[in-house]
């Protein structure tokens, strides 16, 4: 807070400076006002920590600067933060994102003062649903620390993180722990929607200049387009190639009719040609024996004398 000697501020403004800006000078001013001294206030802190069950903690100062006898655990800090959130003023200050504090010089009149802007370092207030507030801290020995509370669906969870290596890891760990905690009650936020993959360029066609494009279109338009569809006459011609009933009848009539095989002609041969006779039957010449009928013998007429 960069308090100068003899400057004064209201107790509430000192609380804003302590909880939002981590003002060590504001912490000492409040401790001396409440406990009479730094040591006296530290004893009050230790007594109250034991009452709420934070038995693994011991405090030597009100601001948390390194000291061998000043220590705590994540579990104890969660217990302490839960107890602090039960006080309305603390809960109201811890969820504030920014404020302006009035610091009086203490040397002049009422109008001799300055304004000190303070801002919360709790990123969950703007990025995590239901965040009710939290307190950040940093030293080179303890690294980055955070304790805060989130309310979702009537379920309140407190997260405490110590010794985080950097700011990015601190807030990511806080979100992961809260998501896990709310998932046990069925209140975890849905997974983020995966963006659709972008189209991949496989091949790019060469660009055609406007003049060449017009020439190409004109040349294509001049060409006759042959129709691949059959015309009506073609379809009729194809249909007429199928044999009609009369054609089938004509084909049937062209088959050779069955004829009875005629008997070879009987050739009567004379005695001069008796024994052999060649007859032609059909296309192939065959030799057949002709049956020779015996010639009738001249009848003898007996003439009887005197008849």
Does residue 248 register a pLDDT over 50? no
**Burial of 49 per CB tally in 10 Å (0-12, 13-18, 19+):** buried
Average pLDDT over residues 65-83: 95
Band (pLDDT 50/70/90 cuts) for residue 307 is very low
Q: Does residue 86 sit in the same domain as residue 152? A: no
Collect all residues with Cβ–Cβ distance below 8 Å to 64 and sequence separation of at least 6.
Answer: 70, 137, 139, 142
Kindly state whether residue 111 falls inside one of the protein's structural domains: yes
> How many distinct structural domains can be found in the chain?
2
pTM of the model as a whole? 0.60
Band (pLDDT 50/70/90 cuts) for residue 104 is confident
Question: Are 151 and 94 in contact, with CB atoms under 8 Å apart?
Answer: no
Residue 66: name the closest of 170, 160, 163, 146 by CA: 163
Kindly state whether residue 200 falls inside one of the protein's structural domains: no
Q: Does residue 54 sit in the same domain as residue 109? A: yes
pLDDT of residue 277: 45
Average pLDDT over residues 224-245: 49
Residue span of the structural domain in which 177 resides:
121-189
Question: Are 106 and 148 in contact, with CB atoms under 8 Å apart?
Answer: no
Q: What CATH number is attached to the domain comprising 54?
A: 3.40.710.10
The whole-angstrom separation of Cα 177 and Cα 246 is: 95
Kindly state whether residue 268 falls inside one of the protein's structural domains: no
Does residue 135 register a pLDDT over 80? yes
Q: Does residue 32 sit in the same domain as residue 112? A: yes
Band (pLDDT 50/70/90 cuts) for residue 114 is confident
Question: Are 177 and 159 in contact, with CB atoms under 8 Å apart?
Answer: yes
Kindly state whether residue 237 falls inside one of the protein's structural domains: no
CB atoms within 10 A of CB 168: 10
Does residue 125 register a pLDDT over 90? yes
Average pLDDT over residues 256-278: 47
Which of the listed residues 95, 120, 145 is the one where a domain comes to its end?
Answer: 120
Does residue 283 register a pLDDT over 70? no
pLDDT of residue 6: 81
């Amino acid at each position: 807070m960069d308090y100068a000697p003899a400057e004064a501020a209201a107790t509430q403004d000192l609380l804003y400076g302590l909880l939002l800006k981590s003002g060590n000078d504001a912490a000492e001013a409040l401790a001396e006002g409440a406990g009479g001294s730094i040591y006296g206030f530290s004893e009050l802190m230790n007594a109250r920590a034991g009452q709420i069950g934070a038995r693994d903690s011991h405090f030597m100062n009100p601001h948390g600067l390194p000291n061998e006898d000043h220590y705590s655990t994540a579990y104890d800090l969660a217990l302490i933060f839960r107890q602090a959130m039960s006080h309305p003023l603390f809960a109201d200050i811890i969820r504030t994102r920014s404020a302006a504090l009035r610091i009086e010089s203490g040397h002049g009149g009422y109008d001799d003062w300055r304004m000190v802007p303070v801002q919360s370092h709790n990123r969950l207030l703007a990025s995590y649903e239901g965040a009710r507030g939290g307190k950040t801290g940093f030293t080179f020995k303890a690294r980055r620390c955070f304790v805060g509370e989130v309310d979702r669906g009537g379920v309140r969870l407190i997260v405490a993180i110590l010794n985080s290596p950097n700011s990015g890891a601190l807030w990511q760990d806080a979100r992961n722990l809260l998501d896990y905690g709310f998932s046990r009650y069925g209140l975890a936020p849905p997974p983020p929607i995966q963006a659709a993959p972008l189209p991949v360029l496989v091949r790019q066609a060469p660009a055609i200049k406007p003049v060449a494009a017009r020439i190409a279109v004109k040349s294509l338009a001049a060409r006759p387009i042959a129709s691949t569809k059959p015309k009506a006459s073609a379809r009729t011609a194809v249909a007429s190639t199928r044999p009609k009933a009369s054609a089938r009848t004509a084909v049937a009539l062209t088959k050779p009719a069955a004829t009875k095989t005629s008997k070879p002609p009987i050739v009567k041969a004379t005695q001069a040609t008796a024994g052999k006779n060649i007859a032609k039957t059909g296309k192939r010449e065959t030799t057949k024996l002709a049956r020779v009928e015996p010639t009738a013998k001249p009848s003898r007429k007996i003439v009887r004398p005197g008849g």
